[in-house]
Amino acid sequence: MNLPNALFFDIDGTLLDTTTHKIPESALKALNTLNDQGYSICIATGRNIKMFRTLKLEGLVKWKYLILNNGHVIMDGNYKILRQHTHDPKIVRELIDRCHKLQMPVFLSGPQGDMMSMKANAYVEIAHRYFKEPIPEVKDYEDEPIDQILIYENEDFDWNILSDIEGIEIRATTTTSADVLKAGVSKHHSILDLLESTGHSDYYIAFGDSMNDYDMLQHAPISVAMGNGVEAVKKIAHYVASPVDEDGIAKMLNTLGYLID
């Protein structure tokens, strides 16, 4: 197999064991070996740079590029912003208004910090505990630039109830929250943007586990879903790895031929 030079990895449930919130040693060893061989090891996550650092991922691997906030922010390996997409303030206000009518809190994040639109409820607490992420204080939205939005409800909630809001797309997570993306922005969109703008081939491999990885895996020349991932993602991936906590990353890289004993 002609192996892609660029490898993109989701964080939660793909690189990170969601129980320990750490990257398994086998995966770290494999990624650093590939780095030494000249491969470009990249992140493609819904996390923002603040949480990336809080999880102590900075420095574990020499990351070539980071696609953060589900594609809304692209950084190079020196953590310089190459591209940033922010939501239209009018659409943000409309979303907050609609969500509040449903008693649904909204998480907003941008260059000026994080905020909650209303007091956290049980769904917020479950989601932030799952992602090991602090819950920010309640603050009125005042048209600040926003590049990350989360909304919260039960895991079986039908997010189509908000699908008539133009300019956004909603992707369920693996817990009691959903990512709100600017229409046309996604991990897949930003991977192609990054590769084209930096002169790299668009032949890449992507690893993921949840619905915010769906487009990335669906369109990747080679895609790998984690064994612990959601069924919809596993169905469309070219390969299904063992679960992250069973050395899934290292085993799959070996199977594909990246790691030579």
CB-facing half-sphere around the CA of 86: CA atoms within 13 A: 12
Domains contained in the chain, CATH given: 6-85+185-256 (3.40.50.1000), 89-182 (3.30.1240.10)
Q: Are 180 and 150 in contact (CB under 8 A)?
A: yes
The pLDDT assigned to 261 comes to 60
Query: Parallel, antiparallel, or unpaired for β 65-68 and 73-76?
Result: antiparallel
- Tokens representing 235 are 């169905």
CA 213 to chain centre: 7
Predicted TM-score of the model (pTM) = 0.93
Q: Under DSSP, is residue 182 helix (H, G, I), strand (E, B) or coil?
A: strand
Given this model, what pLDDT does residue 222 score? 97
pLDDT averages per 10-residue partition of the chain, 261 residues: 93 92 96 96 96 94 97 97 98 98 97 96 96 95 98 96 96 93 96 95 95 95 96 97 97 93 60
- The pLDDT of residue 129 is 93
3-state class of 130 per DSSP? helix
The distance from CA 71 to its chain's CA centroid, rounded to whole angstroms, is 8
